């Protein structure tokens, strides 16, 4: 999906549910209109996380008031790893400075994460609705 001209577009990676009945996570590329993102922001949180912090498989939680939401993260320094796929066959991907990654996997076994060796400084935007279903 490409909307608007290239200056208004943002290319990002999306951690989302796959098409299988089990809803295993996958990572896909998507280009979206920056104005659409700005219109959907519910909250913005600056995060500084220590190296090595890990979370086992989990889903993108629903918001108390808005239901399904997208967690869009912009990495400024350091980075983090995300594991996706079928449990027992997970694949790890690193996201570093300049990367944008969105989490919309609200079903299935979810994704895992681990902060890289340099920690991570990032901005997380919580967006109303699930990216790709707008």
Q: Give the model confidence (pLDDT) of 75-95 as tens digits.
A: 999 999 999 999 889 999 999
Tell me: the pLDDT tens digits for 2-34? Answer: 334 456 899 999 999 999 999 999 999 999 999
Instruction: Tell me the average pLDDT across 101-124.
Output: 97
Is residue 133 very low, low, confident or very high in pLDDT (cuts 50, 70, 90)?
confident
pLDDT of 85: 96
Q: Measured between alpha carbons, how far is residue 52 from residues 55, 74, 91 in Å?
A: 10, 19, 18
- What predicted TM-score, i.e. pTM, was given to this entire model? 0.91
β-strands 100-103, 9-17: how paired? parallel
Of the candidates 73, 27, 81, 72, the residue with the CA atom closest to the CA atom of residue 54 = 81
């Amino acid at each position: 999906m490409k909307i608007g001209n290239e200056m208004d577009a943002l290319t990002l990676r999306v951690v989302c549910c796959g098409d299988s009945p089990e809803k295993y996570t996958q990572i896909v590329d998507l280009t979206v209109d920056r104005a659409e993102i700005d219109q959907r922001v519910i909250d913005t949180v600056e995060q500084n996380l220590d190296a090595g912090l890990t979370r086992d498989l989990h889903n993108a939680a629903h918001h108390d008031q808005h239901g399904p939401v997208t967690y869009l993260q912009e990495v400024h320094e350091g980075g983090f790893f995300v594991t996706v796929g079928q449990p027992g066959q997970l694949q790890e991907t690193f996201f570093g400075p300049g990367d944008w990654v969105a989490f919309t996997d609200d079903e299935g076994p979810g994704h895992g994460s681990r902060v890289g060796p340099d920690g991570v400084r990032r901005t997380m935007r919580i967006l109303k609705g699930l990216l790709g279903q707008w």
